[in-house]
């Protein structure tokens, strides 16, 4: 059976001694005495042979500072951004001793990523578990690691209990049937195969390591997220901030993915039916892979419970083919044609916005969204925040208006309605002026809506008023409430 091992990743802690089975190469001494201990030369030789294709000369001997050896040292230094001298200095040796992935660096690294799964719904199965953590903790950490990539892309991961899942996850030791045996504690950490038949996508963790959910031992969430990147077809990155950087880091920032990781996964799994950007009416039909950095959190327990019975929203707005739900400094994004929901702090998607959002609305003919916080608002166009925040008075409000509770744009009338306490304004988007005679009382013009409005959105001819955990479906043409539902039902609960 043909098996594609595009990105077989082996995380390994390089230690002098019996961790390697490669033959020991003894560099010849030149006229000047060597300043490096023999153990460092042995480590460097094995490292360069494994990761930089250093060739063994006849009789297994080579010169320490000969052209092939020095050239490979320089290649390694260039890859890691070190001083490219070709000499084994302390920084180079320290990097060689760092925990890392076993994929060769120069040959494997490329901005043009490798093979992908020919689908966007990928199944996984957990086989043998580790002895270090409760099963439900392992389930949660692995699901969270998959969610890192799901939130950053169009991918959906579904856990399966059958043996024909795309990605098989197991905790094993030593020889385990794939010709890449583990070597006990403090050696190989894990490895994963790139997409393909047979073992393609399978991800194995060495159960001789001490797996944890924190910074002691080996953090399962961080390692799994890296390995699943390889199982999806991603290769290594030279960017130290990238999750796909070769070396393992026990602690990372809250934004586990770098911008490069996000771009690469979206490039690899670009939806074939998506029209060219110039043909799309707006860029919110897909979150821009270049501008909105959708990152997984190092602390997945901070993910909000979207199905909480008391869930409320501060602002809701359609933006192209997606609906944005804001709550404090958190955001859910639901694409109308997809079942998955992307979520996280607002700054993960819009780094310039570090506050909560009080109201939001979208004007389709301008392909522009307006996000309001207290007396200021941002303009978002083409998935970019345009310019600096501007004053709310730009819309023609009197000076005493310093915030609004909700806003909604009605395409048919060309009006944007702003709600504050028990009154509202009507703004003419065509003339860009406030309509005469406003504000008016909400209860008079919207009978049945006798409450302060937290958020509002217009869809399919109806206005949906969010009041705490409830949503009123309002028939705008006939001026009456036609239904009431739970706010969390909008997130699939």
Q: According to the model, what pLDDT value does residue 381 have? A: 78
339-392: per-residue pLDDT in tens? 567 778 888 778 788 889 999 999 988 888 999 999 899 998 766 788 888 999
- Distance in angstroms (rounded) separating the CA atoms of residues 61 and 388: 63
Burial 84-120 (b: 16+ CB within 10 A, else e): eebebeeebbebbeebbbbbebeebeeeebbebbeee
- Distance in angstroms (rounded) separating the CA atoms of residues 157 and 243: 19
Is 314 part of any known ligand binding site? yes
CA 400 to chain CA mean position, Å: 41
Sort 21 into a burial class: Cβ within 10 Å, 0-12 / 13-18 / 19+.
Answer: exposed
Predicted confidence band of residue 314 (pLDDT cuts 50, 70, 90): very high
Is 360 part of any known ligand binding site? yes
Sort 155 into a burial class: Cβ within 10 Å, 0-12 / 13-18 / 19+.
Answer: buried
Locate 161 and state its tokens: 């209990």
pTM of the model: 0.49
Average pLDDT over residues 3-7: 42
Is 445 part of any known ligand binding site? no
45-64: per-residue pLDDT in tens? 877 876 788 886 655 555 55
Predicted confidence band of residue 304 (pLDDT cuts 50, 70, 90): low
pLDDT of 252 above 60 = yes
Positions marked catalytic:
227
- Distance in angstroms (rounded) separating the CA atoms of residues 205 and 220: 9
Q: According to the model, what pLDDT value does residue 378 have? A: 92
80-107: per-residue pLDDT in tens? 889 989 899 999 998 888 777 666 676 5
- For residue 473, list its beta bridge partners: 464, 483
Q: Is 145 in a helix, a strand, or coil?
A: helix
Question: To the nearest whole number, what is the mean pLDDT of the chain?
Answer: 78
Is 421 part of any known ligand binding site? no
Q: According to the model, what pLDDT value does residue 339 have? A: 59
Is 200 part of any known ligand binding site? yes
Q: According to the model, what pLDDT value does residue 205 have? A: 92
Most confident of 15-29, 58-72, 131-145: 131-145
Is 184 part of any known ligand binding site? yes
Is 255 part of any known ligand binding site? no
Instruction: Of 456, 490, 458, give the one whose Cα is nearest residue 477.
Output: 458
Percent of residues, the chain, with pLDDT higher than 90: 25
Q: According to the model, what pLDDT value does residue 408 have? A: 95
- Distance in angstroms (rounded) separating the CA atoms of residues 464 and 477: 13
397-433: per-residue pLDDT in tens? 988 888 899 999 999 899 999 999 889 999 999 889 9
pLDDT of 300 above 70 = no
List, in order of start, the domains of the chain with CATH numbers: 1-297 (3.40.390.10), 304-491 (2.110.10.10)
- Distance in angstroms (rounded) separating the CA atoms of residues 404 and 457: 15
Percent of residues, the chain, with pLDDT higher than 70: 78
pLDDT of 24 above 50 = no
Most confident of 25-29, 115-119, 273-277: 115-119
Is 101 part of any known ligand binding site? yes
pLDDT of 241 above 70 = yes
Is 202 part of any known ligand binding site? yes
Is 178 part of any known ligand binding site? yes
Locate 81 and state its tokens: 């951004």
Q: According to the model, what pLDDT value does residue 340 have? A: 64
Is 478 part of any known ligand binding site? no
């Amino acid at each position: 059976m043909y098996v594609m091992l595009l990105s077989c990743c082996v995380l390994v802690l390089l230690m002098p001694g019996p961790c390697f089975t490669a033959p020991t190469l003894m560099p010849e001494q030149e006229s000047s005495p060597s300043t490096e201990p023999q153990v460092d030369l042995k480590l460097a030789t094995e490292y360069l042979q494994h990761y930089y294709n250093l060739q063994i000369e006849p009789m297994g001997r080579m010169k320490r500072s000969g052209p092939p050896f020095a050239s490979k040292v320089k290649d390694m230094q260039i890859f890691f951004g070190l001083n490219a001298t070709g000499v084994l200095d302390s920084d180079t040796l320290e990097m060689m001793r760092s925990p890392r992935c076993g994929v060769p660096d120069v040959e494997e690294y490329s901005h043009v990523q490798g093979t992908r799964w020919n689908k966007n719904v990928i199944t996984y199965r957990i086989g043998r578990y580790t002895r270090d953590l409760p099963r439900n903790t392992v389930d949660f950490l692995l699901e969270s690691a998959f969610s890192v990539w799901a939130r950053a892309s169009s991918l959906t991961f579904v856990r399966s209990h059958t043996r024909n899942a795309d990605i098989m996850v197991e905790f094993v030791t030593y020889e385990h049937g794939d010709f890449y045996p583990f070597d006990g504690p403090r050696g190989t950490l894990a490895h994963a195969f790139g997409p393909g038949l047979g073992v393609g996508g399978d991800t194995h963790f060495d159960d001789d390591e001490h797996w944890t959910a924190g910074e002691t031992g080996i953090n399962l969430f961080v390692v799994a997220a890296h390995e699943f990147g390889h199982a999806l077809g991603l290769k290594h990155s030279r960017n130290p901030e990238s999750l796909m950087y070769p070396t393992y880091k026990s602690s990372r920032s809250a934004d586990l993915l770098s911008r490069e990781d996000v771009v690469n996964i979206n490039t690899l799994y670009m939806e074939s039916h998506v029209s060219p950007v110039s043909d799309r009416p707006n860029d919110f039909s897909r979150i821009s892979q270049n501008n909105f950095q959708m990152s997984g959190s190092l602390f997945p327990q901070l993910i909000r419970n979207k199905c909480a019975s008391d869930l409320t929203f501060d602002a809701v707005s359609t933006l192209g083919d997606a609906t944005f739900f804001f709550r404090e400094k958190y955001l859910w994004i639901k694409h109308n044609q997809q079942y998955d929901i992307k979520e996280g702090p607002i700054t993960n998607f819009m780094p310039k916005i570090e506050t909560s959002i009080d109201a939001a609305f979208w004007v389709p003919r301008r392909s522009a969204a307006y996000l309001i916080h207290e007396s200021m608002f941002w303009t978002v166009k083409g998935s970019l925040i345009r310019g600096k925040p501007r004053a709310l008075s730009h819309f023609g409000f009197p000076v005493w208006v310093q915030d609004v509770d909700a806003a909604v744009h009605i395409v048919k009338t060309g009006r944007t309605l702003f709600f504050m306490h028990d009154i509202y304004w009507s703004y003419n988007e065509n003339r860009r002026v406030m309509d005469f005679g406003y504000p008016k009382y909400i209860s008079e013009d919207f009978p049945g809506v006798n409450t302060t409005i937290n958020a509002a959105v217009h869809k399919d001819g109806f206005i949906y008023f969010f009041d705490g955990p409830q949503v009123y479906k309002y028939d705008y043409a006939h001026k009456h409430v036609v239904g009431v539902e739970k706010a969390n039902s909008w997130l699939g609960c």
